[in-house]
Amino acid sequence: MQMKESPTVEFKRELTDAVKREIIAFANTQGGELYIGIEDDGTVIGLNNAHKTLEAVSSMLHDSIKPDILVHTHLSIETLEEKEVVKIVVSLGTRRPYHLKSKGMKSSGVFIRYGTSVTNASEENIRQMIMESDGTNFETARSLQQELTFHEATAIFEKQGLKLGTEQQRTLGFLTVDGYYTNLGLLFSDQCEHSIKCARYLGNDKLDFQDRKEFKGSILTQVEEVFDYLNLYNAKSAHFEGLQRVEQESFPSYALREALINAVTHRDYSFSGSILIHLFQDRLEIVSLGGLVKGLTIEDIELGVSQSRNPKLANVLYRLKWIESYGTGLQRMKESYKQNHEQPFWTVGPNAFVVTLPKQTIATTLTEYAELDDWLKQHPEFTTKELEVYLNKSKGTVRKIVVDLLEKGQIIRLGNGPSTRYRVR
């Protein structure tokens, strides 16, 4: 009876590089048998030196394919029609996707079986294989992107006197035991695919943008740069109560920092969208994807119950001392607002968690600048820059004064963007 090729049987006349693709495809699809020494039509031609071919196949599998595929293959020499052929039995692999070492886990290096043909796997095929092999835990699954660098993260680690070499990356969970970068490693790498988007608005709704900015790079760099960006618009003032100097901010720095780090730590990274930050005139909103961890309620987390969606990520931030203690973030945010009549609050959706920080009333108001009345009479039209120069105050403080004047109807806005001017009514 003549043998025939099928979805699980493949013939090769001789050993060539194509054998690697066939074996990878079998291991990634449903397993199968490959014979070397048989024509495509099933004619047995045999091999001159089957033992040498067997050794060459073994070396090829060891040197050219990752992860280790030898545990899923059985090599033997069989005699068919009095001729020796090499038979390779491949079982479905447990560490898919198997791929060419030289190509990595890219479509060009990953193959699947489609009928009796071999084809390149799509990115979606590869993601599905990773999920089936590694499970659904985002942090520990192998990253689709394996060409990662950690220049930004290493610099931040070094500021804390910590190292981030290969050994530390394995300990923290950036690398698997067989040398693959995980999704956790991807987050801390310079190639991180997630971002934080900030938008600043003229009023208390989303009708008029002042500016918008997207922050990329290592998740650590994103947090540092976003915090600096928000601080530019976090107006500060100081006054004396008796002999005591009291400083005040539009948004307490602790609450701002805690809300930002919480969003990064607890979001669901299986969603590809960005963390969104909206800066209004009366509040700041931070929108994190993923909602609450399954099984927790808003009452639980307000009581300090801690169940991180990304425990390995939280552990890294704890080592960096960005997280001081687990489960106290929301409580301490509220404590930082204890002098304010408006309190921070949170809104939970099926796939989102929103922290709202109300803007505190800054002690610096128009009444502290009585001389401003005379200046306004002499400057019926002005820009914020001119007012900054006159008052010798920060942009944030002057912006607050301008908003007060607008709300009281003492001035009107002319134009938008860099050319904006104000007219005294």
- What 3-state DSSP class applies to 275? strand
pTM score of the predicted model: 0.78
pLDDT score for 365: 44
Alpha-carbon distances, residue 62 vs 111, 179, 343 (angstroms):
17, 16, 62
- Dihedral-angle region of residue 319 (phi above 0 means left; psi in -120 to 50 means alpha; beta otherwise): alpha
Please state whether the peptide bond connecting residue 97 to the residue before it is cis, i.e. omega within 30 degrees of 0.
Answer: yes
Does pLDDT of 1 surpass 70? Answer: no
Q: How large is the greatest C-alpha to C-alpha distance in the chain, in angstroms? A: 111
Q: How far is CA 46 from the centre of its chain?
A: 53
Phi, psi of 18, deg, nearest 5: -60, -25
Confidence of residue 366 (pLDDT cuts 50, 70, 90): very low
pLDDT score for 246: 57
pLDDT score for 327: 60
Looking at every residue in the chain, the average pLDDT score rounds to 89
Confidence of residue 261 (pLDDT cuts 50, 70, 90): very high
Confidence of residue 216 (pLDDT cuts 50, 70, 90): very high
Distance between CA atoms of residues 359 and 153, nearest Å: 32
Which tokens belong to 406?
């607008």
Find, among 170, 171, 168, the residue nearest to 154 by Cα: 168
Confidence of residue 294 (pLDDT cuts 50, 70, 90): confident
What is the DSSP secondary structure assignment for residue 38, as one 8-state letter? B
What is the DSSP secondary structure assignment for residue 89, as one 8-state letter? E
Distance between CA atoms of residues 306 and 214, nearest Å: 30
Higher pLDDT, 394 or 362: 394
Residue type, 254: Y
Strand pairing partners for 6?
9
- What 3-state DSSP class applies to 144? coil
Task: Output the CA angle 74-76-79, nearest 5 degrees.
Answer: 145
Average pLDDT over residues 37-64: 95
Distance between CA atoms of residues 173 and 140, nearest Å: 7
Distance between CA atoms of residues 310 and 367, nearest Å: 49
Phi, psi of 88, deg, nearest 5: -120, 115
Of 337-341, 343-347, 366-370, 387-391, the least confident: 366-370
Confidence of residue 364 (pLDDT cuts 50, 70, 90): very low
Which tokens belong to 221?
């760099």
Find, among 336, 349, 345, the residue nearest to 256 by Cα: 336
Confidence of residue 367 (pLDDT cuts 50, 70, 90): very low
Confidence of residue 395 (pLDDT cuts 50, 70, 90): confident
- What 3-state DSSP class applies to 24? helix
**Which value, to the nearest 10 degrees, does the dihedral of the CA atoms of residues 206, 209, 210, 216 take?**
100
